[in-house]
Structure 1
């Protein structure tokens, strides 16, 4: 099987538990370190699937490599190569598939509840019911034509979607490990402090973010395993 390409956009935005899950599922992968200047390939057919991680930049920031990544995702869809996206990755997917990405009402940072939509696809991808997930974003995406919404939160009604039964976009960070949460807080804590000072409703304190990390991340990893076990069914061999 051709490898899955994992596009890492920043040094902070590591794949985390995605690597563990892919190894458990027995599928090969290769890391594309965009943060270190790795070019975005033109041809997605060299991969069996594409995973896009998060990042502090935005789809509308005018970065040439983001435009290249959007074109890569467009080509992947035309060729039937499945794409999965986390946070920024989900926004790149939305833009590539015809949706819009804009600033949201306020930032979501830390542990927030999402509700799964009452549709069969939501349970197929994530399991049953609502869940607490890790968030760190201020942009929002609209649903591309033909996609199905899978999850919503109080401030962001579009938290996840699936398109063509193979492309999975997730605004949240199921990949977080306790160690990676600590990396996020140390690297971006000033953003969190700024938003708290503004009275943002969906932003945790440092103490709230760092509480009960083993249990919280383990619950997300169960969702992550469910999602990727479903996603790999569409991989190109």
Structure 2
């Protein structure tokens, strides 16, 4: 049975990456909705069996400058209210958290590059267990509060809220498991100004991608396969508030 997976994209190079072939192998038909230029409506987000909200270089609170964020958050909220499977990555996780009523704020600092997570006790028993001791790609400066009823799964010293789950259907990741290390150059070019502003050498990220990327890709496959096992076949039972 073919199912539909929709990815809401904010910048072109922050795409499904490693997740795309995993979804296709499980019979999902993948497509993109480019939020800055296409309408993000509840109807558009309620239709697919799986929704993935990807990252981007704006903040949830930037809706005065980027009004599409208001529409996007409302559409995500409608999907969450319907209890449908949803994965948020970086900005996507922040939008999911905000749609669930949690605060999202700028921290005034950045966490960019490959570094390991500290899994919480709940995280070690979750779909993130394969990430224990594996450096992941961080690229953020904002932070979400853990939504009410959700479980904190991972943390780092500078950003204690790195991942949350709300039942089996909703997963929010501050970090980028989907990023393909063989295409890291797109990230380095696309975020060149941010790297320069933060004084980060792109050569270090390039070297770390080569060193850690293959092991991280294998762990990523285990994480996403296990998460998809929990929602496949997708259920459409409304979430109890």
TM over 0.5: yes
1:15 counterpart residue number? 16
Match of 1:183 among 183, 186, 190: 186
Moved over 3 A (4+): none
Match of 1:140 among 138, 143, 166: 143
1:59 counterpart residue number? 60
1:200 counterpart residue number? none
Unaligned runs of 5+ in 1: 197-203
1:32 counterpart residue number? 33
Assess, with a 3 A threshold, how the Cα gap between structure 1 residues 58 and 13 changes in structure 2: closer, same or farther. same
Match of 1:87 among 86, 90, 93: 90
State the 1:215 CA deviation: 4.5
- Which digits, 9 at most, give the CA deviation of each residue in 1:21-57, with x for residues without a partner? 212333222221224x121132233111110110011
Alignment of 1:71-82 (within 5 A): 71-82=74-85
Partners of 2:96 and 2:197 in 1: CA distance: 29
Unaligned runs of 5+ in 2: 237-241
What is the total number of aligned residue pairs between the two structures? 228
Alignment of 1:186-201 (within 5 A): 186-196=189-199
Partners of 1:34 and 1:25 in 2: CA distance: 26
Task: Give yes or no for contact 1:124–1:230 (8 Å, CA) kept in 2.
Answer: no
Alignment of 1:91-130 (within 5 A): 91-119=94-122, 121-128=123-130, 129-130=132-133
Partners of 2:220 and 2:163 in 1: CA distance: 13
